[in-house]
Structure 1
Amino acid sequence: MVDGPGQRLRSTPGVQRVPNAALDLFVVRDFLDPASCAAMIERIDRVRRPSTIADDLGQTQFRTSETGDLDGGDPAVAAVERRIDALLGLGEPLGEPLQGQRYAPGQEFKPHTDTFEPGRADYFLHCAEAGQRSWTAMIYLNLVEDGGATRFKAIGKTVQPEAGKLLAWNNLLPDGSPNPATLHQGMKVRRGVKYVLTKWYREIGYAAGSRTRS
């Protein structure tokens, strides 16, 4: 489960792997076409609300974006989810529902990992049913005028937003523990607005009808 998508992505045409031994990080340009990106932006704007976080590490203004919980029953949303599932080779029960995020000027998400810290309360709350977050897929939906890059601090890699570009990375080490090299941040937007889609996958997966949002 931990390495399966990595092996698949390495052999998929059009997928680029960032060359770093500490982290399996992949980039796919033009994964979504402009019409699909526009449709997802419109849906995010319908339902956006202030973003939340399981553990802000005691820092104020840790995550200042807005989040939109997208309806998996919407055919356009379901089609995007199926495309991501197929790219990574992961089944629907392993995936959390698709979310969108909106970053206005000045908004950011400070350095964090997508996994839940073993031993903390949020780990037991969010991982009891479906397990730890294994893979992350994120898609930029628009070109940002200035700022809004994703910085993977531990490996010194910064990725600029481009409409339709997908990033995917493995959150876990081979032994199943969280990989600290996944530390990343949504850098502050300086001009314009940034929209992204995010889909997280779990180790075990959800029972039918029980997918939850974290």
Structure 2
Amino acid sequence: MTAAAPSPETVPDQAALARLGAAVRERLAADPTVYRVPVDPVELFAVGGFLNDDECARLCSMIDAIARPSALHEIDYASGFRTSYSGDLDPQDSFVAAISARIDALLGVEAMIGEPVQGQRYQPGQQFKAHNDWFYTSESYWPQEEARGGQRSWTAMAYLNPVEAGGATAFTQLGIQIEPQPGALLLWNNALPDGRPNPATLHAGTPVVAGVKYIITKWYRTRQWK
């Protein structure tokens, strides 16, 4: 799932991605609670203690109640590429809605461009191999995703529990691994400053060796999520 960024003349939503990237970048840079991870060429940020212990525990329980084998557009679960269990949390639940709104407010974006918050659980041996969150517009799934809200812009991912061993988030082209820290929120721009998808955002959920890993993820589009 690696590829070079498309040339500018072939990139859908490029102008919108550039505008959204600039707006969120400026907002995060002005927030003293946000740490800019010093890596290039990815805009990667972290917020410690974004969720408290009670919120993390409650989210873990909610994930257990809905988790099913994780799906991908073009790759079957049996392939072993993404072997976690996951599911969308109920956006009408007041607790979930409040968490989602806090992430929106941190980024300074409209709620309508956000996908539902997804919960994911990784047990020993489970992983998500290196992938990008942005969509490959040459693939057969793109017309459906274009109609549902267009290209993905930002990713927000929060760790919910300590993991005994393994389960790091590895940005494979940057040569860094981020170990799970309960309550910490990671944020990254899936596009380059000019609005082209950034291939250096390639990342993996490394296999859990011992224990269980819980996370939530919220992806943002360029247009209203449908």
Q: Same fold (TM over 0.5)?
A: yes
Identify which of 151, 155, 175 aligns with 1:156.
175
Distance of aligned partners of 1:143 and 1:181 in 2 relative to their CA distance in 1, 3 Å threshold: same
Cα deviations by residue, 1:134-187 (Å, 9 ceiling, x for unpaired): 000000000100000000011112100011010000001233221001000000
Q: Deviations over 1:11-65 (max 9, x none)?
A: 1112111112300000111100000001111111111100001133999200000
Q: Compute the TM-score of the two structures, normalised by the length of structure 2.
A: 0.88
Q: Determine if the alignment matches structure 1 residue 72 to structure 2 residue 91.
A: yes
Secondary structure of the residue aligned to 2:215 is strand
Which position in structure 2 is the counterpart of 1:9? 28
Q: Distance in 1 between matches of 2:77 and 2:211?
A: 29
Deviation readout 1:74-96 (Å, 9 max, x if unpaired):
11101100110011111110100
Q: What is the alpha-carbon distance in structure 2 between the residues aligned to residue 175 and residue 56 of structure 1?
A: 30
Which runs of structure 1 show a deviation greater than 6 angstroms over 4 or more consecutive aligned residues? none
Counting only pairs closer than 5 Å after superposition, residues 61-140 of structure 1 correspond to structure 2 as: 61-140=80-159
- Taking a change above 3 Å as real, the CA distance of residues 172 and 57 of structure 1, as seen in their structure-2 partners, is farther
The 8 Å contact of residues 45 and 68 in structure 1, kept in 2 or not, is answered as no
Shifted more, 119-128 versus 67-76: the winner is: 119-128
CA drift of 1:7 comes to: 1.4
Q: 1:59 to 1:152 in 2, by over 3 A?
A: farther
**Code of the aligned partner of 2:64:** D
- The secondary structure found in structure 2 opposite 1:119 is coil
Structural RMSD (CA): 1.5
- Structure 1 equivalent of residue 196 of structure 2: 177
- Unmatched segments (≥5 aa) in structure 1: none
Shift of 1:119: 1.6
Identity %: 50
Match of 2:10 in 1: none
Task: Give ranges in structure 2 of 5+ residues lacking alignment.
Answer: 1-19
Moved more, 40-49 or 13-22: 13-22
- Residue in structure 1 matching 2:62, options 34, 40, 43: 43
Q: For 2:24, what is the secondary structure of its paired residue? A: helix
Tell me the number of residue pairs that the alignment of Structure 1 and Structure 2 aligns: 207
In 2, Cα distance between equivalents of 1:107 and 1:129:
29
Q: Is this contact kept in 2: 1:172–1:178, CA < 8 A?
A: yes
Which is further off, 55-64 or 8-17? Answer: 55-64
Tell me the TM-score normalized by structure 1. 0.93
**What SS does the aligned partner of 1:195 have?**
strand
| CA distance 1:58–1:117, change in 2 (3 Å) | farther
Amino acid at match of 2:80: Q
Give the whole-Å Cα distance in 2 for the aligned partners of 1:140 and 1:98: 13
